[in-house]
């Protein structure tokens, strides 16, 4: 009869052995690193998603202003743009809103828009769309938010517009509003109202609990002289 050594007592001893303190700490560290990596990835995704949403909104609002300006002449059809006086004392007449143009519907030429802000802190409510209407705030279901039946403007967004005269041979070079070009053997005379215009729309966003406006989109285009 063969006798087989019994290891049951030793096996039971090994089975009862638990984690040591060092092993437990290592396990906690591994779990913590995994959780932190997940949280960081989630935060990065949220930032990326917010940036994409802001970029799309900013470009939309900038293009709304550009679309609105397509029906505007460069200068007022009635008063035009002219110089009053002569020499160094000459002043330009007709740049900016004309007398009596106090409402958004009164803005009817490109130079009227110079320095205009549509939205918080600006001359007019905004942001605005291509028809001069207010871009409304919507809730998560896409329903327009109203106050006493009136749509509320899109919160924390605004459009800033700059209009500049530029050199007809170098669009990167701006000219003073009253600038004229005298004729020479190389170039013809150019009147005060015959220069190309550079339009720039800057769309800004203000984060909640912040007083700072951050630029989201900048859209620039040239309107050639006619």
Q: What is the residue-wise DSSP string for 39-75?
A: HHHHHHHHHHHHHHHHHHHHHHHHHHHHHHHTT--SS
Q: How confident is the model at residue 24 (pLDDT cuts 50, 70, 90)?
A: confident
Contact of 197 with 74, CB cutoff 8 Å? yes
The reply to whether 15 falls in a domain is no
Counted domains in the chain = 1
The reply to whether 6 falls in a domain is no
The reply to whether 171 falls in a domain is yes
Do the strands 82-84 and 117-118 form a parallel or antiparallel pair, or are they unpaired? unpaired
Among 43-57, 93-107, 128-142, the range scoring the smallest mean pLDDT is 43-57
Put simply, whether the predicted model's pTM sits higher than 0.85 gets the answer: no
Contacts of 120 (CB under 8 A, 6+ apart): 156, 158, 206
pLDDT at 59: 95
Q: How confident is the model at residue 70 (pLDDT cuts 50, 70, 90)?
A: very high
The reply to whether 21 falls in a domain is no
What Å distances lie between residue 211 and 46, 172, 205, 216, CA to CA? Answer: 22, 32, 10, 16
The reply to whether 22 falls in a domain is no
The predicted-structure confidence for 27-41, as pLDDT tens digits, reads as follows 888 888 878 877 777
Compute the average pLDDT of residues 104-133.
94
Contacts of 200 (CB under 8 A, 6+ apart): 161, 162, 163, 164, 218, 219, 220
Give the domain extent around 125.
43-223
């Amino acid at each position: 009869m063969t006798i087989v050594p019994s290891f049951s007592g030793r096996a039971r001893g090994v089975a009862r052995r638990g984690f040591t303190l060092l092993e437990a700490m290592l396990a906690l560290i591994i779990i913590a690193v995994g959780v932190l990596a997940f949280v960081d990835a989630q935060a990065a995704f949220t930032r990326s998603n917010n940036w994409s949403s802001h970029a799309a909104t900013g470009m939309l609002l900038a293009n709304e202003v550009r679309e609105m300006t397509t029906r505007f002449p460069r200068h007022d059809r009635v008063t035009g743009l002219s110089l009053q006086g002569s020499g160094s004392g000459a002043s330009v007449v007709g740049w900016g809103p004309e007398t009596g143009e106090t409402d958004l519907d009164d803005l009817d030429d490109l130079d009227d828009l110079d320095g205009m802000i549509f939205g918080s802190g600006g001359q007019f409510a905004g942001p605005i769309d291509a028809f001069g209407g207010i871009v409304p705030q919507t809730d998560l279901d896409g329903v327009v938010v109203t106050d006493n039946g009136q749509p509320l403007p899109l919160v924390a967004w605004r459009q800033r517009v700059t209009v500049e005269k530029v050199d007809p041979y170098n669009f990167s070079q701006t000219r003073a509003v009253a600038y004229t070009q005298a004729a020479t053997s190389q170039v013809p005379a150019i009147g005060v109202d015959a220069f190309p215009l550079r339009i720039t729309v800057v769309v800004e966003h203000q984060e909640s609990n912040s007083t700072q406006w951050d630029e989201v989109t900048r859209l620039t285009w040239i309107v050639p002289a006619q």
